[in-house]
Amino acid sequence: MINLDRTEGWFVLDKANDQAVRFSNGEIVNYGIYDEALEDCYGNESVVEFDSLPDSEKKEWLKQITKDSEEKINLIKKQL
């Protein structure tokens, strides 16, 4: 089950290509603090909440957090 609380926070959206800013490994960056997201903005980028992301980016973020959750569950299972 997806923890929808993890859709909270802030994203930096590049409006030119309709994509959220990503880490070098390709994962979407989710900021916990608005001001930190704002400091990372360049040119045509803006700080948005999850609901304002394009659908393709929402799907990618949900896929990313689901993967993270599954990996944590599997790690816990191995420790039992």
Query: Mean per-residue pLDDT for 65-73?
Result: 80
1 falls within a domain = no
- What is the pairing mode between strands 19-20 and 45-48? unpaired
Which amino acid, 15?
A: K
35 falls within a domain = yes
33 falls within a domain = yes
2 falls within a domain = no
pLDDT at 3 over 60: no
Separation of first and last alpha carbons in the chain: 20
52 falls within a domain = yes
| Number of domains the chain is built from | 1
The string of pLDDT tens digits covering residues 13-50 is: 999 999 999 999 999 999 999 999 999 999 999 999 99
- Specify the 3-state DSSP secondary structure of 45: strand
Give every strand in the sheet of 45-48, ordered side by side: 19-20, 11-14, 45-48
- pTM for the complete prediction? 0.78
pLDDT at 78 over 70: yes
Mean of per-residue pLDDT scores for the chain: 87
Which residue range forms the structural domain that includes residue 13? Answer: 8-79
58 falls within a domain = yes
CA 14 – CA 3 distance, rounded (Å): 26
